[in-house]
Amino acid sequence: MRALHRLSLRKASATFFAALFASAAAGEVKESIITTPGVNSERILFGQSAAFSGPAGELGKSMKAGILAAFKEVNDQGGVNGRRLELRSLDDAYEPEAAVANTQQLIEEGVFALIGAVGTPTSQSAVPVTEAGDVPYLAPMTGAEYLRDTSRYTVINLRASYYQETEEMVERLTTDMGYDRIAILYQDDSFGRAGLQGVLLALERRELSAVGMGVFPRNTIAVKTALLDLRATEPQAVVIIGPYKPTATFIRWARRLGMDPIFMTLSFVGSNALAKELGTYGSGVLVTQVVPFPTGNEISASAAYRKALSAYDPSIEPGFISFEGYLAGRLAAHVVSRCGEQVERSCIDSVLRTDESFDLDGFRLRYGKNDNQGSDDVFLTVIGPDGQYLPLTSLTPVTTAAGATHTQ
């Protein structure tokens, strides 16, 4: 009897597994055995390691707010194929070691993908971890060339590169203004060196060189020595590669000392935070951006962003970085919606790398087999006398004077 019972169990087991394998072969695997980390029948979980404290803390807070505004917008409309989009965020304080630890923790906790990282040194440290686990790394807030290497197969960039931003800077300064005395202040890490290299290459293409270079340590505002060194070179313009606190400290001290060239900085600076830090010293400071004007109406994405941000938290002022975060969240939703019911990490490449363009309410993106950057757009802005940003298409003594008290 016991032998007959064991035989019956073996037959039942064989029948069960035969049915299971047949179901899998037919593409009818049940949700209960889906093994994609971060995905179940109710939600798709994303992870974020970014700076929420320290001198770059406002950047991470803004990026997170934009992503969550986009996720709320999607979730309020029923989610993606019935699944909510969720975000788990950890603070790395803009330190590479913390970014590595956070990334490892998020992967171990089972996120589907990383999204909205902030910074070059942190991303450069975290990406090898995501590559080892085949975990997508979506829309980091950095324009470093390292992340645009096509061998970085887990990385999907949203924004234009630092080389593109610095090319726009040097083009405007040399062609529009006729300047040839351009100095550079940069942060002493992979971010600062990426921006520095971009400026130097842009100058070299015009048979120019920097009249001076100053450097300061990451996560500090120790810029006074660099200021004195650069002041002695009598530059017509200073390109600054750094986040908002050291950038604002440098500009305030320079203007107090009577040094008043054109100051120009990259999108990573954190535009809203920079304007607040500068106060009355901000008029005329130029900032390149990688997303359209957040309060403009050139594309419908701007209005959608403002509505989503207000629904998420009406106390948050619209800004370029939270707009970038919103577009990153929209990109994530776009990808997973086209993955279908069976959401897998590998579907991101198959959805995006088609050489076909698509747009997020007017913000156009295109990826290809050898192209992991969606947008090439760079926009020029200036801080006006009231501390608000104004869009620019070119630089002339007239347009710079509209934002500043000086021309050269």
pLDDT digits (tens, 9 = 90+) for 42-89: 999 999 999 999 888 999 999 999 999 999 999 999 999 999 999 999
CA 105 distance to own-chain centroid: 21
CB 345 within 8 A of CB 36: yes
User: Which helix (H) or strand (E) segment is 111 a member of?
Assistant: none
Backbone φ and ψ of 292, nearest 5°? -65, 170
Backbone φ and ψ of 266, nearest 5°? -80, 165
Q: How many CA atoms lie within 13 A of 360 on its CB side?
A: 27
CB 135 within 8 A of CB 110: no
pLDDT in tens, 278-331: 999 999 999 999 999 999 998 999 999 999 999 999 999 999 999 999 999 999
- Token digits of residue 92: 């790395």
Minimal CA–CA distance to 291: which of 197, 216, 383, 365?
Answer: 365
Q: Is residue 342 helix, strand or coil?
A: coil
| pLDDT on residue 31 | 45
Neighbours of 150 (CB within 10 A): 13
Put simply, whether the predicted model's pTM sits higher than 0.75 gets the answer: yes
Domains of the chain and any CATH numbers? 43-160+295-376 (3.40.50.2300), 162-289+380-403 (3.40.50.2300)
Whole-number Å distance between alpha carbons of 237 and 240? 10
Q: What residues contact residue 83 under an 8 Å CB cut-off, 6+ apart? A: 39, 40, 41, 42, 43, 44, 336, 343
